């Protein structure tokens, strides 16, 4: 006698097909898993640096770290692109050692690097309030303000420090502050003000080559080749005892004289065309490093 089945005929036909599909899907998944790309190999040097950072962090947590340990950990965290951790460490250290203004300066640089200009400015003001002439903080603050279109504020800040340091007797730090002021004035497209600052530095520091070199570059950028060469000759004269920089300045002077000869004659009273910018020779240095 034929047996009765409770499954409809179409279901009996479909089930074997579904089983085949299920097996195919399962096999495909398994093959896909087998063919997934392997994770990249661990960089042994990065792993070693990570372990070193962990050991240094443990020393700090147990109050056994030296200043050199803290500095090394900061370098490692930044180098490993763990900047939020570096910032957290710097905040803690800066609060613990408020006299170490360099820690807050590093924190300000990291905040700026992360796009937090307001936070960077806050850190810098904590440095500049008790030390208004601190040149590294002035440089970074000036850059921050210029980036935000607050050039007048940047100039006023640096000029205030420079004016204080320039009062007789002139303090040594007035040189760096004055060079920074002239740079800010140039960035604000105030060449006359920058030239006046350089002239003041020429008189206050009669043996330093940087003020005349900065003035020479300013005049060269304005197309004033004659004035630029006069200022450059002053810088060369002040570099008599420095053979390396004197040779570099001599080469620059020869190059400028050739370029000046190629310039078209300018009618009397006409403004000369702007000259292409020229960088100072390596090692000569026109002022403090750019912030």
- The number of beta carbons lying within 10 Å of the beta carbon of residue 181 is 29
25, part of any domain: no
CA distances 252 to 35, 123, 163, 265, Å, are 63, 40, 32, 22
- Find all residues with CB under 8 Å of 195, minimum gap 6, and list them: 215, 218, 219
Looking at the fold, whether 166 and 102 belong to one and the same domain comes out as no
Q: Is the pLDDT of residue 25 over 70?
A: no
Looking at the fold, whether 80 and 110 belong to one and the same domain comes out as yes
Q: Exposed, middle or buried by CB within 10 Å (0-12, 13-18, 19+), for 243?
A: exposed
Q: Is the pLDDT of residue 40 over 90?
A: no
138, part of any domain: no
pTM of the model: 0.73
Encode pLDDT of 121-168 as tens digits.
Answer: 999 999 999 999 999 999 999 999 999 999 999 999 999 999 999 999
Look up residue 148 and give its DSSP letter. T
CA distances 139 to 128, 142, 177, 194, Å, are 11, 5, 9, 16
9-18, 137-146, 215-224: range with lowest mean pLDDT: 9-18
Q: Is the pLDDT of residue 88 over 70?
A: yes
Q: Which residues of 116-141 are buried (b: 16+ CB within 10 A; e: fewer)?
A: eeebbbebbebbbeeeebbbbbbbbb
Tokens of 124: 């810098």
HSE toward the beta carbon, residue 81, CA cutoff 13 A: 1
Tokens of 227: 């004035």
269, part of any domain: no
Tokens of 95: 């609060």
Encode pLDDT of 199-219 as tens digits.
Answer: 999 999 999 999 999 999 999
Encode pLDDT of 267-291 as tens digits.
Answer: 444 455 555 444 454 444 444 444 4
107, part of any domain: yes
Looking at the fold, whether 180 and 193 belong to one and the same domain comes out as yes
Q: Helix, strand or coil for residue 6?
A: coil
Looking at the fold, whether 122 and 165 belong to one and the same domain comes out as no
CA distances 280 to 51, 184, 215, 234, Å, are 44, 18, 11, 14
147, part of any domain: no
Looking at the fold, whether 58 and 118 belong to one and the same domain comes out as yes
193, part of any domain: yes
Last residue of a domain, one of 126, 146, 164: 126
pLDDT value, residue 19: 45
> Quick one: how far is CA 185 from the chain centroid?
20
Cβ atoms of residues 282 and 248 within 8 Å: yes
Last residue of a domain, one of 167, 184, 204: 204
7, part of any domain: no
Cα 31 from Cα 102, distance rounded (Å): 57
Encode pLDDT of 158-196 as tens digits.
Answer: 999 999 999 999 999 999 999 999 999 999 999 999 999
56, part of any domain: yes
DSSP string, 58-119: HHHHTT---HHHHHHHHHHHHHTT-HHHHHHHHHHHHHH-TT-HHHHHHHHHHHHHTT-HHH
Looking at the fold, whether 200 and 225 belong to one and the same domain comes out as no
Looking at the fold, whether 197 and 212 belong to one and the same domain comes out as no
pLDDT value, residue 263: 79
Round the average pLDDT of the chain to a whole number and report it.
82
Tokens of 159: 């000029």
Q: Helix, strand or coil for residue 271?
A: coil
Cα 231 from Cα 199, distance rounded (Å): 10
Looking at the fold, whether 161 and 198 belong to one and the same domain comes out as yes
Total number of domains in the chain: 3
pLDDT value, residue 27: 46
Owning domain of residue 184: 156-204
Report the CATH number at residue 65: 1.25.40.10
Cβ atoms of residues 218 and 198 within 8 Å: yes
Looking at the fold, whether 171 and 241 belong to one and the same domain comes out as no
């Amino acid at each position: 006698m034929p047996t009765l089945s409770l499954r409809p005929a179409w279901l009996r036909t479909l089930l074997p097909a579904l089983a085949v599909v299920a097996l195919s899907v399962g096999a495909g998944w398994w093959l896909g898993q087998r063919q997934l790309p392997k994770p990249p190999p661990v960089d042994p040097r990065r792993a070693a640096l990570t372990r070193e950072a962990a050991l240094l962090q443990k020393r700090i947590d147990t109050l056994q770290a030296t200043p050199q340990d803290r500095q090394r950990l900061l370098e490692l965290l930044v180098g490993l692109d763990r900047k939020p951790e570096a910032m957290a460490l710097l905040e803690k250290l800066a609060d613990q050692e408020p006299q170490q203004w360099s820690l807050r300066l590093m924190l300000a640089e990291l905040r700026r690097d992360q796009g937090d200009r307001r936070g960077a400015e806050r850190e810098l003001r904590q440095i500049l309030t008790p030390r208004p002439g601190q040149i590294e903080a002035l440089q970074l603050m000036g850059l921050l303000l210029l980036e935000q279109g607050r050039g007048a504020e940047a100039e006023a800040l640096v000029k205030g420090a420079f004016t204080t340091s320039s009062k007789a007797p002139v303090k040594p730090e007035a040189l760096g502050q004055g060079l920074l002021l002239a740079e800010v004035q140039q960035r604000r497209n105030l060449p006359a003000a920058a030239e006046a600052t350089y002239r003041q530095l020429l008189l206050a520091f009669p043996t330093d080559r940087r003020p005349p070199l900065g003035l020479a570059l300013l005049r060269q950028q304005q197309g004033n080749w004659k004035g630029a060469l006069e200022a450059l000759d002053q810088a060369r004269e002040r570099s008599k005892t420095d053979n390396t920089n004197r040779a570099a300045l001599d080469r620059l002077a020869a190059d400028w004289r050739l370029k000046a000869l190629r310039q078209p004659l300018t009618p009397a009273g006409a403004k000369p065309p702007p000259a292409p910018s020229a960088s100072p020779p390596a090692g000569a240095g026109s002022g403090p490093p750019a912030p």
